[in-house]
Structure 1
């Protein structure tokens, strides 16, 4: 059975470190602690004194002064790893954690998880071909030597880089290594860590190279594990759940994230707020629990993208320069049905087709498989349709040999609505306002990946109001724009009341519009 030796790198909050060590070792796992040499000596003494009688805790023999982006972080990890291997001969896995990490599964679950497959769990992707580094330096991290800390010695750091660049003092990457990159939070088998330490002793040239690379904690283990371990024995993902903002800062979890964290397909989470005392208490108890069952739905990343993307309004794709002044045609009419419930809009368009001769196209900018004629490839992907939106619409007018065309758009596509309303063609908007039951919102969350089949009911119940508010916000944004020819029909209104805006939108007699408004089960889910 798996036995974990945790490698804990920490630099503050001695009380939290003591509790973390006691919690993780209470069920038989062990821990090697490296406490930053920059931290107060009295804090270190306090931790050692509190854990002195715990046989499952050891400390790195040498404390390193750690700095972000420096080799010191790798040196501290290696020191703690050596201490763990020496002190705990029965440990089968070494798991890298920080003082901000906490278990989000029980020890029973974690051990079974590690026993399930004999492999190393580490995110390790190609340094140059992947997009792991989104912005900033890439090759420069490796081919130049970095002796100073970028955060505390910024002027020296960049002056030395500029000097090397001007004098062309770049260096080669060790020829037998394929550089990899990934999260520093890994769980490696004992024999893998032993192989890394043996390699480090034998290959001083590689160690010299990494000592002056920038941010080596994202490349050292990731590269060497790939070099030493067969690919089939590597699970290419971190076992620790972590999120980053658009600014590259880690997301912090608080007391109300307990259910969300437990539903993620990970063993630990980072970062837990130091002020989330209730969350820390509950997670501490959880690790020692027996018989706990976890409903893993793994929607955390999708939820974070959903919640943080709200309010960032802008065009999805910039228009091509040749389309900037293009027009659908001054004498043409584009009729846009805007509805969040796609099945309702499609049912409405089916009825319009039956009673009029207007060509109707459903959600061509949202559904890859929307029914479109062959227009020479411009219709082949959603990206092309968005990018060449006006050219696509002109071609559809020409294909159907008409000056009037109906399309469906999702309310989220405000950029498209605005673009078409600025055109010389006459544009009318018919907004279809629907009611949203909890059952429908739950189904929507499942369809778009905000929830899974195993998402706890409590977590889903907290999510539904956010989705309902988001739908309302999309509708408000459209109304706030004050578009001309903006009409609306509502599920709560009678067919007679909805007939008037339908008649104006379609340009048909009132009786014909009432026939459309009376479509059986128009708003049914």
Structure 2
């Protein structure tokens, strides 16, 4: 059975560290602690005094003065790993933690999880081609020597890079290593850890190289594991759940995130607020519990992106000048059906096809597999279609040799509606107002990844008002835009009541419009 030696890097909150060590070792696991040498000596002594009689806790024999982005973080990790390997010969796995991490599963679940597969868990992706780095310097992390800390000496940090670039002072990456990158929060098997320590002793050239790279805690272990372990024995993921904001800052979890964290497919979470006393208490009790089953839905990441994006509504990019000057054609008519329930809009436009013979296209700006002719590549993906929206529509008019066309759009595409309504072509809009039951919203949440099949009902219950408000907000935006030729049909109205709006939208007779909206199952979910 798996036995874990936790590698804990910390620099504050001595009470929290003591509680964490006692909690994790009480079930039979171990812990090696590295407390930052820059931190308060009194805090370190307090931790050592509280844990000195715990045989399952050890301390790194040396302490590094840690700085963000520096080699010192890797060195601190190695110090703690060396202590854990020497003092805990029965440990089968070594798990990296910080002081603000907490278990979000029981120890029983964690041990069973690690026993399931004989692999190392570590994010490990190609440094140059994976796109893992989103902002900041990339190749410069490796090919230049970094002697200054960017956060402490920003001017000297970038001046050093500039001088090395100006004088061509690049250096070679060790030829036998393919540099990898990923999260520093890993869980490695004992034989992998021992192989890494042996590699560190024998390859001083590699150690010298990484000592002056930038942010080596994201590349050192990741690269060595790929170098030393067969690919089939590596799971390129972290077992610690963490999120980052759009500004690159880690998301902090509070008491009301308890249920969300338990439903994620991870063993630990980072980072837990110092003030989240209730959640810490509950998670502490959970770790020692036995026979607990967990419903894994794993919607946390997509849910965070959805909720954090609310309120940031608006156009991200202005219209390109070549699109502004282009036109679909003054004599052409573009009729746009707007509906959040795509299946309802598709039924309506199918009726329009059959009864009027108009050419209709489904959600071409929202659905990648919408059937489109070959238009020279502009139709290949949603990004291209949206970027060259007017050119795409003009080519569709030309391809089908028609001056009248119906397309479907989602209410979220407000920028598309504004753009087409500002064109010299005659643009008319038909909004389909549908009812949204809780069952439909639950299904919608699952379809878009905000929830899973095993998402607890209470989580869905809290989420549904937000989704409903989001849909209402999109509809309100359309109304507030005061589009000149906007017509509306409603689910609760009779075909006779909806027909006049469809007739004006399509420019057909009332009887033809009535035949279109009289479909029995038009609004059925």
TM-score range, shorter chain: over 0.9
Which range moved further: 233-242 or 345-354? Answer: 345-354
Measured against aligned partners, the alpha-carbon deviations of 1:124-181 in whole angstroms (never above 9, x if no partner) come to 1111111011122111111111112211122332232223222222211112211111
CA distance in 2, matches of 1:171, 1:63: 30
Which range moved further: 376-385 or 44-53? Answer: 376-385
The 5 Å alignment of 1:465-476 reads 465-476=465-476
CA distance in 1, matches of 2:176, 2:306: 42
Partner of 2:454: 454
Measured against aligned partners, the alpha-carbon deviations of 1:231-258 in whole angstroms (never above 9, x if no partner) come to 1111111111111112111111111111
Q: How many residues align?
A: 525
Unpaired runs of at least 5, structure 1: none
CA distance in 2, matches of 1:199, 1:411: 57
Given that 1:210 and 1:216 are in contact with CA atoms closer than 8 Å, whether structure 2 keeps it comes out as yes
Partner of 2:365: 365
The 5 Å alignment of 1:140-219 reads 140-219=140-219
* 1:475 Cα deviation after fit: 1.2
The 5 Å alignment of 1:8-47 reads 8-47=8-47
CA distance in 2, matches of 1:356, 1:491: 22
Is residue 489 from structure 1 mapped to residue 500 from structure 2 by the alignment? no
Partner of 1:257: 257
Is residue 270 from structure 1 mapped to residue 267 from structure 2 by the alignment? no
Partner of 1:399: 399
Structure 2 SS opposite 1:368:
coil
* 1:377 Cα deviation after fit: 4.2
Unpaired runs of at least 5, structure 2: none
* 1:321 Cα deviation after fit: 5.6
* 1:395 Cα deviation after fit: 2.4
The 5 Å alignment of 1:402-421 reads 402-421=402-421
Taking a change above 3 Å as real, the CA distance of residues 380 and 156 of structure 1, as seen in their structure-2 partners, is closer
* 1:480 Cα deviation after fit: 2.1
CA distance in 2, matches of 1:83, 1:76: 11
* 1:311 Cα deviation after fit: 3.6
- Taking structure 1 as the reference length, the TM-score comes to 0.96
Structure 1 SS opposite 2:325:
coil
CA distance in 2, matches of 1:20, 1:435: 49
Given that 1:503 and 1:509 are in contact with CA atoms closer than 8 Å, whether structure 2 keeps it comes out as yes
Partner of 2:441: 441
CA distance in 1, matches of 2:248, 2:522: 46
CA distance in 2, matches of 1:399, 1:138: 45
Is residue 117 from structure 1 mapped to residue 120 from structure 2 by the alignment? no
The 5 Å alignment of 1:47-446 reads 47-313=47-313, 322-446=322-446
CA distance in 2, matches of 1:117, 1:327: 59
CA distance in 1, matches of 2:417, 2:321: 19
Taking a change above 3 Å as real, the CA distance of residues 96 and 146 of structure 1, as seen in their structure-2 partners, is same
Taking a change above 3 Å as real, the CA distance of residues 374 and 73 of structure 1, as seen in their structure-2 partners, is closer
CA distance in 1, matches of 2:147, 2:387: 46
Q: CA RMSD in A?
A: 1.7
CA distance in 1, matches of 2:160, 2:392: 53
* 1:402 Cα deviation after fit: 2.4
